[in-house]
Structure 1
Amino acid sequence: MSMHRKTITLTEQQDNWVKTQIEGGHFGNDSEYIRDLIRKDQQAKERVAVLRQALADGESSGKPKPLDISSIKAAGRKQRKAAS
C-alpha cells in the first residue's frame, strides 16, 4: 500500500489530545492515531449505509403485518431452551 504525506493543522487542544493518546500508549505516533480515526469513520459510514439499506429493504418489502407477541415469546422460549 502506498503512503501519502499530508499536512494538517490542529488547535492546541486537539494537539494536546493527540499527544495524550500517544503518551498513554494507545498509539505510536500522530499518524497511527489519525489513521485509526479514519478507519473508525469509514466503519461508521459503512454501518450507516447498511442500516439505511436495511430500512429501505424493509419499507419496500410489502404491507406490514400485525405483530403476534405470543408467537414471538414462544419462539424466544424455544430458542432459549434449545441453547441450554
Structure 2
Amino acid sequence: MARQSISFTPPNDAWLKAQVDSQEFTSKSEVVNDLIRKARKIELIRAKLIAAEQSGFSNQSPEERLAGFHQKARQDGKL
C-alpha cells in the first residue's frame, strides 16, 4: 500500500481522532480511506445521474416503464 504524508487543520485532525476514539476505525488512515471510497462512489453515482438526465425524459407512466423493464429482462433471460 502506498504511504503518503498529509497535514490536517486542527478541527479536521480532532474529527479524525474522534472517529478512531469511537472505535469504529482503528486508525486515521482507515478513516481517510473510507472517506475516499465514499467520495469515489458519489462521483460514480453523480456521473450516472448526469448521463441519465442527458439521455432525455420519458412520457411513459411508471407502470409503462416497469412493464418495459420486465419485458427486456424476459428477453435477456433474467426473468
Equivalent residue number for residue 16 of structure 1: 14
Q: TM-score of the superposition, structure 1-length normalised?
A: 0.67
**2-side partners of 1:14 and 1:38: how far apart?**
15
Gaps (5+ residues) in structure 1?
76-84
Q: Which amino acid aligns with 1:12?
A: P
**1-side partners of 2:29 and 2:37: how far apart?**
12
Equivalent residue number for residue 50 of structure 1: 48
Q: TM-score of the superposition, structure 2-length normalised?
A: 0.70
Gaps (5+ residues) in structure 2?
64-79
* Structure 1 residue ranges, 4+ long, deviating more than 6 angstroms after superposition: none
In the alignment of these two chains, the number of paired residues is 63
Deviations 1:13-61 (A, max 9, x none): 11110000000011110110000000000000000000001011125xx
SS in 1 for 2:56: helix
* 1:1-84 correspondence runs (5 A): 3-58=1-56, 65=59, 75=63
Q: Which has the larger radius of gyration?
A: 1
